[in-house]
Chain A
Amino acid sequence: MTAVTAHPAAATDPRAVAETVTDPELPALTLADLGVLRDVRVHDGTVVVDITPTYSGCPAMGVMRADLLHALHSAGFDDVEVRTVLSPAWSSDWISEAGRRKLAAAGIAPPGRAPVRPAGPVPLQLGPSRRTASCPLCGSPDTEELSEFGATACKALRRCRSCREPFEHVKEI
């Protein structure tokens, strides 16, 4: 990431403004926490913001773009361009430590390490999911997966065997 210089018309750093914008589906986290905000720079007087979708079909990209434009316009940056970056593909490893703490505080288990995907064929996983997650409510590691898919593309559903509460888990990709 490159440093940015303040827009003459604005008193604030556009990066700082962009970093305040929250995710539409995980409002406890900012786009920066999620690793969706890839870069903020000023080029010929235009603020250029790079974002990357978590999943190909992420329906929130339009809202993210609109929120970024609105936040930067409101802060006095008139010329703003929000660009989509497809490569490299988003990984849950890009969620920051602060983002992981905020997820857990919101009752959502943060992801573990993403699987490494080298070039060549992707090996088949036929056994039960090897994913693990501690309960974000009581901290117990004794949890089970209820569903590999959850309310949004980026989450699975689990249940704690200790406190019996169900909870969401951000999938590792």
Chain B
Amino acid sequence: MPHEETVYDALDHAHGGEGHWAFGTGFDEPLAGVDTTVPDGVDPADLGAYCLMLGDDALVLAQRLTQWITAAPELEEEVAIGNTALDLLGQARLLLARAGSVGVLGRSRERATDSIPDEDALAYFRDADEFCNTGLVEAENGDFGQTVVRLLVASTVRLAVFARLRESRDPVLAAIAAKGVNELAYHRDHAARWVLRLGDGTAESHRRAQDGVDAVWPLLADVLTATDVERRLVAAGVAVDPADVREEVRDVLTTVLERATLRVPGWPADTPPRGRAGKHGPELTALLETLQGLARQHPAATW
């Protein structure tokens, strides 16, 4: 940086010294220059809703992981969890920006001021019942054992979906997925090695890992059941049918849990979509209060 004293001077220069919205990353448009044309035969409202599903999963899990900062069992793991959360936050940002680019902003645009970018309006100015993340990511962290089991399950499902999504007819979604695959493979393998270490570790670590498996397992049903939006987009060649990833998810999780000497619970029965349909527990409301509270109190703040 030859011309400025600090990075902040560079950002200030880019904005003519007028400052920008305080709570987001509005200094950089995540899809600047990307062709955001919707492919023929695709309903923009469906595409936007699907991007919100995938984006909200990443945003909420990133926020959950961030709760470990200053509390992780060792410094290296704190850095690992922080980096994992950052990758997910980046995926969330691209996906929410894609949702905004096709006009799916809901009531968030009425609540946010005009200068707030779409992805920030969606992240900060929707209520819990407008979020469509699954129950798998919104559940409380529990102890570290439960946290790494949830991260294993969530990243296994997401990696399987993203690997297929690389072939999506929406080129923006395909590009986001191709980038995400590299990150998610790293997250999944990292979480899997922790589950091995804890499951095949001491009696106490084994007990905690098994408790984590038993707590997280029932939440799988909410992830692997397709919504009407997903069904229509599968037909249009845009989305991945959650049913198509079941076998891979089951194989990967069974491999890890058996190697970790952990008991694999029975596959959960299908349930109607909950999280995807905006049905959430009070734990999501509490999470969003932390995530959104300051921005909603000071919606016009700049720095």
Contact = CB atoms under 8 A, between A and B. Distances in A.
Contact of B33 (A50, A117, A124): A50
A66 B2 contact: no
Nearest to A60: B7
Interface string A28-62: 00000000000000000000001001011111011
A71 interface: yes
B33 A83 contact: yes
Contacts, number: 154
A57 B185 contact: no
Nearest to B76: A147
B237 interface: no
B10 A70 contact: yes
A8 interface: no
B87 A150 contact: no
Contacts of A126: 189, 192-193, 196, 255-256, 259
B30 interface: yes
Interface residues of A, number: 50
Interface string A60-86: 011101110111001000000111111
Nearest to A49: B33
Nearest to B83: A149
Interface string B280-293: 00000000000000
Interface of A: 20, 22, 24, 27, 50, 53, 55-59, 61-63, 65-67, 69-71, 74, 81-90, 117, 119-122, 124-126, 128, 146-151, 153, 157, 171, 173
Per CB-CB distance, the 9 closest pairs between chain A and chain B, nearest first, are A83-B33, A57-B90, A56-B90, A62-B28, A87-B175, A147-B76, A86-B175, A66-B14, A149-B80
